[in-house]
Amino acid sequence: MFETVLVANRGEIAVRVIRTLRALGIRSVAVYSDADADARHVREADEAVRIGPPQATESYLVKERLLEAAAATGAQAVHPGYGFLAENAAFARACEEAGLVFIGPPAEAIALMGDKIRAKETVSAAGVPVVPGGRDPELAEAARSLGAPVLLKPSAGGGGKGMRLVRDLTTLEEEIAAARREARASFGDDTLLVERWIDRPRHIEIQVLADGHGNVVHLGERECSLQRRHQKIVEEAPSVLLDEATRAAMGAAAVEAARSCGYRGAGTVEFIVPGDDPAAYCFMEMNTRLQVEHPVTELVTGVDLVEWQVRVAAGEQLGFAQEDIELTGHAVEARLCAEDPSRGFLPSGGTVLALREPEGEGVRVDSGLTEGTVVSSLYDPMLAKIIAYGPDRDTALRRLRAALARTVTLGVPTNAGYLRRLLAHPDVVAGELDTGLVERATDELVDAEVPAGVYAAAGVLRQERLTPTATEGWTDPFDRPTGWRLGGEPAWTVHPLKVAGHDPVEVRVRGAEVLVDGAPATPARLTATAGDWLARDGDAWHVRDHDPVAANLTGAGGGGAGSLTAPMPGTVTVVKVAVGDQVAAGQSLLVVEAMKMEHVITSPHAGTVAELDVSPGTTVAMDQVLAVVAPEETGDGGEAAR
């Protein structure tokens, strides 16, 4: 067994791996960029090594620096987690050449299964059913022979990037060209394949484990059909769709797929499954690493997958056979991400001002967060995973909804409340899932309204702030915001408030009463100081003071109609205008990038660029003013029609 293992990752997966290494008595080495110097995974490791500046391309993705850190700390093995270099065959080979054990499959298996075209050909030869399709150079011909709808996919990548669903073949050439551009930008390889699209499919994957002694087993399936933009957001084990016979058949196919590429370690074989005919499952791809959703398998099997990754890499045989694997109970996982559902799921960020992670029977949290963590636009938006286990599916879902309601990350908007509502959706509760369900239901799941109670709490908090601190045991009564008036009822103290993306609200406070936007007054009292962030049932709001005069001004910081603000924290990558330029309504002016997502900032009306406060490379905060466009005026001095 190893004495020291370097964890070549960050965030929640690094913390997760370190936890198992500690349980095995193995010394852990963390690596960190300058942005992560005080991160949780750095604190929890036995030793930590700086590997470069914040950008991943200059730190976590530089294999030479990782190998140097391993050599300097005496590590015998490297655990890559997932993401970054976990499925990089060149990194696996570099570890081997440096005398290090790569805790993962052989480089040859990574390369083979990383090429979706070769992967399909290999497993098909082993008798595993595959989705009908075709590949370059006869891509267009294959698509037309399949008939619409078809799915274009990059051969070299995953995670939903570059995938395009084509329902009208008259647009095929245009869609192929766009898919090639996206694939080239994301993976440096524009090779595509095309597959027949299955309407309302289910995404079901099989977890496999293989050692270096010829033993391969599967640990049942995970249902991953709840996806948004081809990204999984909720996973569960087992699937309500499969009966024992189908589960055994899919498991056997996954084992054969692993054998076909000489696999070793933990891996996942993904299948597309027609909801009305589960027996017609087809191989999609194999992920040659630990999956984000591995905890649900661990909870229903009792097998620590990270432990067996380490043991297999150290040369041990699997300690169990296929007949020893039993699925008990049910587990569901939700991915907590730094994104704002009310703003179209744009990436969010900020400093975690207050953190409350749920506890309780059957609840597990895999997290990389601590209070004070700075969530930037530099890395993946996933912050943590909230997982619940129960003796049955209903119990697991109920526990997970309750856990999400208790999850608080003040200072960083997340999708916790959205996930809680998704898990209460009638189709989810009934197990009637497919990969398009989330997109169809999203509008009803995004809570667009800010509860009046949030404004009430913010108003009472601001009222408390107006109360002066007693000096030498005495406070001037005329300094207290009581609203007292001679010969009349006390006056209301008015607090204009605003949550980004919503209209301003007027909150009035008088004594123990609070009135929100003219609604009937209700009793209220302050029991704890919560700052400008308020949370309830997984949702959180940043309530700010609102200055109606400044809001009507057109100028930097005024927030007026001509002020263009950053929709998310990120980096300005493109500036297309200069001060004094005439612009048209809807014209593209700037591009802000965060977490590999680009957002184009357009002019709200025709006019002149009056102010420009950023340049390419500028790091910006959410709602920061980027530019001001003075509206075009009509000949009579009025504002032009829009």
Beta-strand ranges (E) seen in 113-264 are: 133-135, 150-154, 164-166, 192-196, 201-210, 216-228, 231-237
Strand partners, 29: 6, 47
Exposure string (b/e) for 533-545, b if CB count within 10 Å is 16 or more? Answer: bbbebbbbbbbee
Q: Which of 546, 616, 608 is nearest to 580 (CA)?
A: 608
With contact defined as beta carbons under 8 Å apart, do 183 and 136 qualify?
no
Handedness of CA 218, 222, 225, 231 (dihedral sign): negative
Nearest to 435 by CA among 641, 582, 274, 639: 274
Q: Return d(Cα 173, Cα 189) in angstroms, integer.
A: 18
Instruction: Give the model's pLDDT for residue 554.
Output: 44
pLDDT at position 427: 97
* CATH topology assigned to domain 551-631: OB fold (Dihydrolipoamide Acetyltransferase, E2P) (2.40.50)
Which parts of the chain sit beneath pLDDT 50?
Answer: 530, 554-559, 636-642
Q: Helices 89-97 and 63-73 sit at what angle, rounded to 10 degrees? A: 30
Matching CATH number, 201-445, of 3.30.470.20, 1.20.120.1200, 3.20.20.10, 3.30.420.140: 3.30.470.20
Contact 546/413 with Cβ under 8 angstroms?
Answer: no
Write down the pLDDT at residue 188. 85
User: What is d(CA 631, CA 634) in angstroms, rounded to the nearest whole number?
Assistant: 10
pLDDT at site 560: 55
Q: What are the Cα distances from residue 261, in Å, to 114, 125, 290? A: 11, 11, 17
Q: Tell me, yes or no, if the two domains 4-103 and 201-445 fold the same way.
A: no
Please give the pLDDT value at position 461: 86
By the 8 A CB rule, do 370 and 389 touch? Answer: no
Under 8 Å CB-to-CB from 70, ≥6 apart: which residues?
6, 29, 78, 98, 100
Residue range 132-196, CATH number? 3.30.1490.20
Task: Locate 315 and state its tokens.
Answer: 């040369």
Q: What is the pLDDT of residue 377?
A: 85
Tokens of residue 87, six digits: 């499925």
Please answer whether residues 412 and 202 qualify as being in contact, where contact means their C-beta atoms are separated by less than 8 angstroms. no
State the pLDDT at residue 463.
85
- Residue 552 has a pLDDT of 66
| Per-domain residue ranges of the chain | 4-103, 132-196, 201-445, 452-468+490-546, 551-631
CATH T-level topology, domain 4-103: Rossmann fold (3.40.50)
